[in-house]
Amino acid sequence: MLEFRNMKEDKNMVKYLKRLYVNAFPRAERVPFFMLLRRALRENADFYGIYNDEEFVGLTYTVKYMDIIYVFYLAFEPESRGKGFGSAALDEIKSRFDGYRIILNIEKPDANSSNNEERIRRRSFYEKNGFKRAGFTTIEKGVEFEMLRFGDKVARCEFDALLRDFLGRIYTGAYIKPDKN
């Protein structure tokens, strides 16, 4: 059974969180780790270590804004993938934030990308877990992402407001660029 441990209550897991974060996400997709830690000390963000029994298997980082939960990051240790932990973690997030609109983004499938098969599998995984296309994309540090949602629709302007609230106006402008939509 998976257990979510909040970094606010267990600072000993930070080394595991950082190692997985750096290994799981390309540099272009990462917000500076120190910023995630600092923001997770606020009430509107949580950095969770995901444990199976006592073994660290993954992480998730969520941001709350009004009635929206943004799953900013979700990753699992390589040896923990393909074991149902991702679906179980999404079920826990949906349960924990019942009544919220939940959004996340994935690299947009692109036939010209070297990892297009992975992008397609990732979209299929989220759709299998009840997520739908939100109808807009974002450009983050030069990478185009497709927004997915669980629950009611989230407008692009609401997502932009969430990011401004979380990252701050200056960093949001450096991190997020207008998309093609």
Average pLDDT, the chain: 91
Bridge partners, residue 145, by sequence = 107, 138
Half-sphere exposure of 4 (CA within 13 A, CB side): 21
For residue 35, is pLDDT > 80? yes
The tokens of 57 are what?
């298997």
69-116 tens-digit pLDDT:
999 999 999 999 999 999 999 999 999 999 999 999 999 999 998 999
According to the model, what pLDDT value does residue 133 have? Answer: 97
Alpha-carbon distance 28 to 36, whole Å?
15
Q: Report helix, strand or coil for 127.
A: helix
For residue 13, is pLDDT > 90? yes
According to the model, what pLDDT value does residue 83 have? Answer: 94
For residue 46, is pLDDT > 70? yes
Q: What's the CATH class of domain 2-177? A: alpha beta
Residue 42 pLDDT class (50, 70, 90 cuts): confident
Structural domain boundaries of the chain? 2-177
Amino acid at 173: G
